[in-house]
């Protein structure tokens, strides 16, 4: 859905939706990193997955200027209506995911137990795909330790970027996404 909305927003030249989805894609990289950590069976991967879904949800509601812009459109405006529906859907999915993961509380810190195998299933499918892709492009084997290393390294880079944004950009811009050149449309 976000990919479709991205292409649609580019085609319609809607700056607010475009900026919202650009921010969403940057934040959602953490979810992919958490999947790499799940492939590598890193014990706290489920915690990082929960953090990523919460950050994705927060990122689509956080920006005052985008919220103001989206509220100005009427219901028949299909792009913004679909964007609003997607934001609410993402919110409910994230909350559902959080509630389900809290039901398996021991999996938050020890993903390698037998009771946590259900959380590793989606990442095992991704593992097969990445392993074949890695072999095709590099002629090398993609293993769980490599996935864990790439996930931890990516998490470090991501955390540094998030800290930089929190210390420099957030105090400067506040909840304004600056989707237009003047800061507001």
pTM for the whole thing?
Answer: 0.82
Domain ranges of the chain: 2-173
Place of tokens 């991501």: 158
The encoded tokens of residue 71 equal 């509220």
* Rounded-to-integer distance, Cα 87 and Cα 56, Å: 10
Q: Could you read off the pLDDT tens digit of each residue along the chain, which spans 185 residues?
A: 788 878 887 888 888 888 888 888 989 999 999 988 888 888 888 899 999 999 999 988 887 777 777 777 776 778 888 888 888 999 999 999 899 888 888 888 888 888 888 887 777 778 888 888 877 787 778 888 888 898 999 999 999 999 998 898 888 887 777 766 544 44
């Amino acid at each position: 859905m976000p990919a479709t909305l991205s292409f649609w927003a580019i085609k319609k030249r809607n700056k607010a939706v475009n900026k919202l989805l650009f921010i969403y894609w940057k934040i959602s990289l953490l979810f992919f990193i958490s999947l790499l950590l799940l492939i590598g069976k890193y014990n706290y991967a489920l915690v990082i997955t929960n953090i990523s879904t919460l950050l994705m949800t927060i990122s689509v509601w956080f920006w005052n200027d985008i919220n103001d812009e989206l509220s100005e459109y009427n219901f028949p405006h299909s792009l913004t209506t679909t964007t609003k529906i997607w934001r609410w859907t993402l919110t409910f999915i994230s909350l559902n995911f959080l509630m389900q993961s809290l039901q398996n509380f021991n999996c938050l810190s020890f993903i390698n137990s037998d009771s946590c195998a259900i959380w590793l299933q989606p990442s095992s499918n991704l593992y097969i795909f990445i392993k074949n892709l890695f072999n095709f492009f590099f002629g090398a084997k993609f293993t769980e330790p490599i996935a864990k290393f790439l996930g931890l390294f990516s998490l470090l880079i991501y955390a540094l970027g998030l800290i930089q944004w929190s210390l420099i950009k957030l105090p400067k811009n506040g909840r304004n996404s600056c989707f237009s050149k003047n800061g507001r449309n």
